Structure 1
Amino acid sequence: MRLLVTGATGKVGQNVLAAPPRDARFAEAQVVALCHNRGLSLDGVEVVNGSIASREDVARAMAGVTHVLHLAAVKESPDLAIDVAVKGMFLLLEAFRQSETAERFVLLGGDCAVGHIFQPYDSPITEESPRRAYPGCYALTKVIEEVMLEQYRIQYGIDTCCIRAPWIMEKDDFRFAMVFGPDQFGGPAWADLMPQADLERAWQEGLVPLMIAANGEPLRRSFVHVDDVVSAALTALVHPAAAGETFNITMNEPVDYGRLAALLKRRNGTEAIEIRTPFHGNWLDNSKARQRLGWAPDVDLEEMIERAWTYQRAEKDVRRVWYPG
């Protein structure tokens, strides 16, 4: 196997590159990383420096490749979205379909393709549910990527798989996604949902959010730990049942903010503040991945909390949003 990983310096990419030495299925694999804005120096990984939007750079990276794990993405970056998400994937798929060595192409998709908490669903979101992007270029590009992958399989008969993940957590990300004030990691921005006085009180008193969905119940939102995404990605690269399929890769149950608040009060003694939102509580269903791939997440809500609240971040290990590039 010769495996090309795009987005190799990002959150998922770095963990993927660290996994093959520990996984017997990839003991003999050659790993290639296509890197653009950030450098990479890792034993056993061949680095191709270039742009995913360059046909020549993609051709160099694809030379002799049997498997592709496409992780590269940009978020709300309209100036880069088309080059990376559309042109970049098009060039990868074109090179893949014309390659004499290509075997399987795996895309890391996102639950933004089905609108995660922005779009309402009357039942659990499966791989057969309609795609419903929320506003913004990121969600739109994730829909386009899934459709491109699907159509290339139909047009050219190539072996493809999409693993669709919600918000991916590592280290202490989950803890800081739940704080108020300047240390908040990710969204939604509390200032958009709360009066300023409530926001300042929540920050000063160390409260945790109990988001309430549009229907008046505690919000349910899907998360997944990066370790579980990596295990799913490696399985999707080699499992026969992954051919031509899409799989939701997520925790067995979405995070219920009411239960989350109760667990944090029991563990840390923290009080919650209710936040009324226009969001919809949805359930991203991972049954297909569990049944067909034999994959299951190791990290549930309680384990996610424990890992995030006990993690000690080194001074040089800066928490970051990995987009763009």
Structure 2
Amino acid sequence: MQTVLVTGGTGYIGSHTVIQLIAAGFKVVIIDNLSNSKELVLDRIEKLSGVRPDFYAYDIRNFDALRELFQQYKFSSVIHFAGLKAVGESTQLPLKYYDNNVAGTVTLCEVMAEAGCKNIVFSSSATVYGDPGTVPITESFATSTTNPYGSSKLMVENILTDLQSSDPEWTVVLLRYFNPIGAHKSGIIGEDPKDIPNNLLPYVTQVAVGKLQQLSVFGNDYPTKDGTGVRDYIHVEDLAAAHVSAAEKLDALSGTCIYNLGTGQGYSVLDIVNTFESVTGKAVNYQITERRPGDIAECWADASLAKQQLGWSAKKGLQEMLEDAWRWQSNNPDGY
């Protein structure tokens, strides 16, 4: 049985991935500093998977703690989710993002190299494409960023690519997510943002459940079908499945491999609101406001490379994504 280290494994995407890794036969060890998640998530993972993963409340910047962990376990690979992810906060606190996301990854890689564990799957983001000239976006598009969060993701991609070039024993998989939404079908685990959500969907569900008063739709004058921004929304369970595929295929891959993870379909903000209302029967009170700086008109993926090389493609449609998101929120109105 292969043992995989999952950093940030009690977070939104991490927790869904851990359940699928366990189902696929991996032994999972989680580290998470719990800055944006709760230890209670482990109880939910155990309830859904029948297994309680080994857990350490470590920070990826703690070299000594990581070294001890790598001496204790023989990891075949690392799936690296741990990172700060709020775009707005990153513009206010750039050093916090560079320290945590970039310096933390450097520390992690130093410990991995020392231990001879040279397989890493990195949780990257479509933000590395900046404002793309055309859609759909392929992995060969030029990269650029519009905020420190995106810059931190791109820096880590460059660091991992340079590391692999310097030592061909490394296999690096960079997974560029589009917009993860949804939750586990059971409604037992899901997205639980701290404070006010940064992303559209938890905001919509929190308005519907009565936790927030209204949704602000930032701009309705984009060159899109209804004037609101268009994004590629992907079910978190589909995203988790891609990480399992990558972990299973690491031995067959070599070099640095980059994959877009999306559905290849763009939906506008109003598509999301209208579909959510029809799926749940809940009205979503919203107001059109000014555009946000740094937002782009449209962004969706060409994910055909992941299908060819990982045998992965997104399976779940928008209606199922929204039903599952609502089941989680209505079962857990205050999150965990």
With the length of structure 1 as denominator, give the TM-score of the two structures: 0.76
Residues 126, 242 of structure 1: alpha-carbon distance in 2 compared, 3 angstrom cutoff: farther
How far off is 1:17 after superposition?
2.2
How far off is 1:166 after superposition?
2.2
- From 159, 168, 174, the equivalent of 1:162 is 174
- Contact 2:5/2:31 (<8 A) preserved: yes
Deviations 1:246-271 (A, max 9, x none): 11111231223454455456554969
Number of the residue aligned with 2:141: 129
- From 240, 249, 255, the equivalent of 1:230 is 240
How far off is 1:44 after superposition?
4.1
How far off is 1:228 after superposition?
1.0
Residues 290, 107 of structure 1: alpha-carbon distance in 2 compared, 3 angstrom cutoff: same
Q: Where in structure 2 are the equivalents of 1:16-165 lying within 5 Å? A: 16-23=17-24, 27=25, 29-37=26-34, 38-39=38-39, 41=42, 43-63=51-71, 64-75=74-85, 76=90, 77-100=93-116, 102-115=117-130, 119-135=131-147, 137-157=148-168, 158-165=170-177
Residues 217, 175 of structure 1: alpha-carbon distance in 2 compared, 3 angstrom cutoff: farther
Identity of aligned residues (%): 20
How far off is 1:22 after superposition?
2.1
Q: What do you get for the CA RMSD once the two structures are aligned?
A: 3.4
How far off is 1:55 after superposition?
1.4
- Contact 2:224/2:297 (<8 A) preserved: no
Q: Kindly tell me the number of residue pairs found equivalent between the two proteins.
A: 290
How far off is 1:73 after superposition?
0.4
Which amino acid in the other structure matches residue 16 of structure 1? T
Residues 54, 257 of structure 1: alpha-carbon distance in 2 compared, 3 angstrom cutoff: closer
2-side partners of 1:310 and 1:239: how far apart? 33
Residues 104, 54 of structure 1: alpha-carbon distance in 2 compared, 3 angstrom cutoff: same
2-side partners of 1:54 and 1:174: how far apart? 28
How far off is 1:80 after superposition?
2.7
Q: Equivalent residue of 1:228, what SS?
A: helix
How far off is 1:90 after superposition?
0.6
How far off is 1:294 after superposition?
1.4
- Contact 1:33/1:46 (<8 A) preserved: yes
Q: Where in structure 2 are the equivalents of 1:158-237 lying within 5 Å? A: 158-171=170-183, 185-187=197-199, 212=220, 214-215=222-223, 217-218=225-226, 219-237=229-247
- Contact 1:4/1:62 (<8 A) preserved: no
2-side partners of 1:174 and 1:261: how far apart? 19
How far off is 1:227 after superposition?
0.6
Number of the residue aligned with 2:258: 246
Residues 174, 235 of structure 1: alpha-carbon distance in 2 compared, 3 angstrom cutoff: closer
Deviations 1:132-168 (A, max 9, x none): 2112x21111111111111111111111101111232
Ranges in structure 2 where 5+ consecutive residues have no aligned partner = 201-211
Larger Rg: 1
Residues 90, 184 of structure 1: alpha-carbon distance in 2 compared, 3 angstrom cutoff: closer
- From 284, 295, 316, the equivalent of 2:312 is 295
Ranges in structure 1 where 5+ consecutive residues have no aligned partner = 178-182, 189-202, 321-325
Which amino acid in the other structure matches residue 246 of structure 1? I
Deviations 1:226-257 (A, max 9, x none): 11111000111121565421111112312234
Deviations 1:175-233 (A, max 9, x none): 999xxxxx974247xxxxxxxxxxxxxx98x8895963532543311222211111000
With the length of structure 2 as denominator, give the TM-score of the two structures: 0.74
Q: Where in structure 2 are the equivalents of 1:260-279 lying within 5 Å? A: 260=272, 263-264=275-276, 267=279, 268=281, 277=291, 279=296
